[in-house]
Amino acid sequence: MPREQADLVVVGASVGGLAAAAIAANRGLKVFVLERAKELGGGAAPEAEPIAAAGSRFQGAAGLDDGPDRLTDDILAATRHHVDVAVTAAVAAQGAPLVAWLADRCGVAVELIRTPAPGHSTARLHLPGERGGETLVAALVRAATRHPRVTARTGALVERLVRDETGAVRGVGLKPDRRGGVHEVMGAVLLACGGFAADDVRVAEHAPEVAALPHHGFPGAAGEGLRLGAEAGARTERLSAFRVTPFLAMPGAHVVRAPLVAGGAILVNQGGRRFADETGEALRLATAVLAQPGRVAYLLFDERIANDARAADPHFARVVLPRVGRRALSLKDLARQFELDLDALALSVDTWNANTDLGGDPFGRTEGGGRLEAPFHAIRVTGARWRSLGGLAVDARARVLDADGRPIPGLYAAGGAAAGLGGTGCAGALDGLDALAALGLGRLAALDVIAAVSSDGDEGR
């Protein structure tokens, strides 16, 4: 059977996979990156992808005292200890070296977001470049594909894992192309091929409430990592954990994560009426948005809130608001732009302002108040499931674990393929952990393979 040899085979050109490929290649390893889609980068490009990095030099320059132990404590508190402590601590320790590597080796203009995000005890979110995920993907694609020791192939369908008689993973088997190309690529395998949020059947099995939401995330998140991991007897964890959002901007598919509601933004439907507590739990609010006419709603805020959100979230200021927001000098103009019922919209804003002055809210909202004054902004949004947070169980070296909790030799996981740093259900996941877990587990996997190859070389001498 046609066969090629590598030190590391990365299945899926996600940001975690690309980072692992570049790090391993920089240390002398031969790497194959196999991506089934036509383009590299996975689903990170439309997102802000802030990285929670504790103890970075960027924090030091801002006079902030932070460290991995403090981040670990924040994650454990947010998830109510529904994550592995050793894995959490290992990933938390990767943040500072990762953002330094992105800045120094990949040319990314890393920017510390000075406002602490909810659940974080200090400001530690680092935006990877002016356009967030777009910049991160572009930098990692360059770092990986321009390296002479990296071979990247698109349209490569990985059908199976190649295992030896002991059960160790030795490579992958590919679906043959029309020309009868290479059928196997041998080496340690890193599954970095996304989660399963796009797999309706699996979502319905593990999170039926989430399955009712449409999927608007990365279409390649079809559970390939779970399928391949199952071949080797891998254990899975927290498959009910998802990121869902009531604030997916339409069109554009940008998740609005800026603190608009915290500043006093409200939601209205096509009829111009409020219909829910905007600070409510994400799954419940996303379901309420989808129950409105046209399955959409409008996030309404004013210039004060917009300015505060721009300052707190540079990605929102540079990318999201210019692309999906509309501004109007009056409610009449705003209603015309979105074809909203003007009388009902005016009544909703007047009622909100009166309740802000007097106290109380008919929907029970107690947080994020303030009068709304012209000029106004609005973003059309819908509810959606976005990312799965559960996946293959891994240890502190990103090695995939079997049903008995033992590492499966030669098999690693990162990004959506691995159980991340979210809790259970749709609550408990802090901002900045998706990118940290993807990049951090990718780095840990690369370092473990580097150490193994170096050890084998020493023994050979």
Asked if residue 170 has pLDDT above 90, the reply is yes
E strands, 67-135, in order: 110-112, 125-128
Amino acid of residue 116: P
Q: What is the pLDDT of residue 433?
A: 96
**More confident of the two residues 459 and 233:** 233
pLDDT band at 1; cut points 50, 70, 90: low
Residues 347, 430, single domain; the answer is no
Tokens 């302002």 sit on residue: 353
Residues 421, 344, single domain; the answer is no
Amino acid of residue 398: A
Tokens of 428: 């408990």
The helix/strand/coil state of 447 is helix
- Sign for the CA dihedral angle at 268, 274, 277, 283 comes to negative
* CATH number of the CATH domain containing 424: 3.50.50.60
Q: What is the pLDDT of residue 180?
A: 64
Tokens of 411: 């098999």
The residue from 385, 411, 441 where one domain ends is 385
Asked if residue 181 has pLDDT above 80, the reply is no
Residues 217, 251, single domain; the answer is no
Q: What is the pLDDT of residue 59?
A: 98
Question: Of 459, 455, 359, 446, which Cα lies nearest the Cα of 6?
Answer: 446
Residues 380, 403, single domain; the answer is no
Q: How much of the chain, in percent, has pLDDT values that exceed 90?
A: 87
Q: What is the pLDDT of residue 354?
A: 94
Pairing of strands 3-11, 31-35: parallel
Pairing of strands 125-128, 150-154: unpaired
Q: What is the pLDDT of residue 63?
A: 98
CA–CA separation, 309 and 303 (whole Å): 10
398: left (phi over 0), alpha (psi -120 to 50) or beta: left
Q: Which run of H or of E encompasses 445?
A: helix 433-460
Residues 54, 143, single domain; the answer is yes
Q: What is the pLDDT of residue 253?
A: 78
Pairing of strands 169-174, 158-163: antiparallel
Distance of CA 308 to the CA centre of its chain: 24
Question: Of 105, 98, 173, which Cα lies nearest the Cα of 444?
Answer: 98
**More confident of the two residues 368 and 343:** 343
Q: What is the pLDDT of residue 217?
A: 84
Residues 81, 184, single domain; the answer is yes
Q: What is the pLDDT of residue 359?
A: 83
CA angle 150, 153, 154 (to 5 degrees): 145
Q: What is the pLDDT of residue 459?
A: 45
The residue from 385, 412, 446 where one domain ends is 385
Q: What is the pLDDT of residue 456?
A: 74
The burial of 89, by beta-carbon neighbours within 10 Å (0-12 exposed, 13-18 middle, 19 or more buried), is given as middle
Q: For the chain, give the mean pLDDT.
A: 94
455: Cβ contacts below 8 Å, ≥ 6 apart:
none
CA angle 246, 249, 252 (to 5 degrees): 145
Residues 229, 84, single domain; the answer is yes
pLDDT band at 358; cut points 50, 70, 90: confident
Q: What is the pLDDT of residue 144?
A: 97
| Domain encompassing residue 356 | 243-385
Tell me the mean pLDDT in the region 284-307.
Answer: 97
291: Cβ contacts below 8 Å, ≥ 6 apart:
none
Which has the minimum average pLDDT: 148-162, 267-281, 352-366, 400-414? 352-366
Residues 35, 94, single domain; the answer is yes
CA angle 165, 167, 170 (to 5 degrees): 90
Residues 175, 256, single domain; the answer is no
The residue from 353, 385, 417 where one domain ends is 385
Answer for the pair 370, 261: CB distance below 8 angstroms, yes or no.
no
Q: What is the pLDDT of residue 425?
A: 81
CA–CA separation, 355 and 332 (whole Å): 22
* CATH number of the CATH domain containing 369: 3.90.700.10
Residues 140, 265, single domain; the answer is no
Residues 418, 456, single domain; the answer is yes
Answer for the pair 296, 289: CB distance below 8 angstroms, yes or no.
yes
Q: How many domains does the chain divide into?
A: 2
Asked if residue 142 has pLDDT above 90, the reply is yes
Q: What is the pLDDT of residues 400-423, one digit of tens each?
A: 999 999 999 999 999 999 998 988
pLDDT band at 2; cut points 50, 70, 90: confident
pLDDT band at 461; cut points 50, 70, 90: very low
Residues 226, 154, single domain; the answer is yes
Question: Of 277, 281, 299, which Cα lies nearest the Cα of 372?
Answer: 299
CA–CA separation, 329 and 161 (whole Å): 59
Asked if residue 460 has pLDDT above 50, the reply is no
> How is residue 402 annotated by DSSP?
B
